[in-house]
Amino acid sequence: MKAYIFPGQGAQFVGMGKDLYENSAEAKELFEKANDILGFRITDLMFAGTDEDLKQTNVTQPAIFLHSVILAKVLGSDFKPDMVAGHSLGEFSALVAAGALSFEDGLRLVFARANAMQKACELQPSTMAAVLGLDDFTVEDICQRVSDVVVPANYNCPGQLVISGSIAGIDKACELLLAAGAKRALKLNVGGAFHSPLMESARVELESAILATEFKEPVCAVYQNIDAKPYKDVQSIKDNLVAQLTGSVKWTQTVQKMLEDGATSFTEVGPGNVLQGLVKKVNRAIETASAAV
């Protein structure tokens, strides 16, 4: 069974999507439609902006979404998913690619999500840190022992978690994690504590946008971040998307569940190849590839 996976924030690079735009009339039309919907030429920033431009959350998220979704559309009949999943933001790309959301509605939701997250970051300075070389239980236990807000945010692969919380909380947790034997506990250059309770204001804002958007049953099961389970039911998909903003991304568990359910290959659709590396950490023998047109 073919699994298609869609990357999240961090996969962006200057020049992303330019080949698609130049070599496919369908892609060019969709990129131009996106420029109109967003009210600014995101293509200029994607193709020829600076790294700094692309790091702004309200540019990064729609840029990665557009690269992923337009690539899936250009694949045409070659895109035949048996199952899909996306990492954080990538869940929106997966839902559009699987037909649960229209291109236009997906883009509007991603832009609303990015702006809501940006606002939440400005409300309270907060951050995230990557933790390498410890098991999940140890990281969870240490997070619970810190009095400030600190939670596991991304379960990326065995031995690699990202934690999220207040600056004081993350500093304290990193100190305890290194003392417990972590190979690294490194603060990330991000704008805020994504996938933590500190995103509550963004969750409330995104919930109204999701409730006002039409969703359809996807063509295949979508494995969602919040609990790593497959869904086709529209109401559950919407509820899980809302919960995702303050809940952790269970990527390790998602890949394990897709493998259990019969995935024989994983194709990454979008910029970069980070997710392929994470899949290989779960099962070295599984076939992975980047989508190409």
Residue 278: the pLDDT is: 97
Q: What is the pLDDT along the chain (293 residues), one digit of tens a residue?
A: 999 999 998 899 999 999 999 999 999 999 999 999 999 999 999 999 999 888 888 899 999 999 999 999 999 999 999 999 999 999 999 999 999 999 999 999 999 999 999 999 888 889 999 999 999 999 999 999 999 999 999 999 999 999 999 999 999 999 999 999 999 999 998 879 999 999 999 999 999 999 999 999 999 999 999 999 999 999 999 999 999 999 999 999 999 999 999 999 999 999 999 999 999 999 999 999 999 76
Residue 10: the pLDDT is: 86
- Classified by CATH at the fold level, domain 126-187 comes out as Alpha-Beta Plaits (3.30.70)
Taking the CB of residue 57, how many other CB atoms lie within 10 A of it?
22
**What is the residue extent of each domain of the chain?**
2-122+197-290, 126-187
Is residue 195 part of the annotated active site? The answer reads yes
Q: What are the distances in angstroms from CA 137 to CA 12, 49, 158, 164? A: 31, 41, 11, 16
Is residue 67 part of the annotated active site? The answer reads no
Of 68, 126, 195, 248, the active-site residue reads 195
The whole-angstrom separation of Cα 276 and Cα 90 is 14
- The pTM score is 0.96
User: Which stretches of the chain are DSSP H helices?
Assistant: 18-23, 25-38, 42-48, 51-55, 57-75, 90-97, 103-123, 136-145, 167-179, 200-211, 234-244, 251-260, 274-282
Residue 57: the pLDDT is: 86
Residue 140: the pLDDT is: 98
Residue appearing with tokens 């899980």: 240
> Tokens standing for 245?
């903003």
Q: What are the distances in angstroms from CA 155 to CA 48, 105, 144? A: 33, 28, 16
Query: According to the CATH classification, is domain 2-122+197-290 in 3.40.366.10?
Result: yes
Q: How far is CA 189 from the centre of its chain?
A: 16
Q: What are phi and psi of 44, to 5 degrees?
A: -60, -40
Residue 190: the pLDDT is: 81
Of 88, 93, 166, 196, the active-site residue reads 88
Look at residues 71, 96, 81 and name the one whose alpha carbon lies nearest to residue 237: 96
> Tokens standing for 37?
């919907």
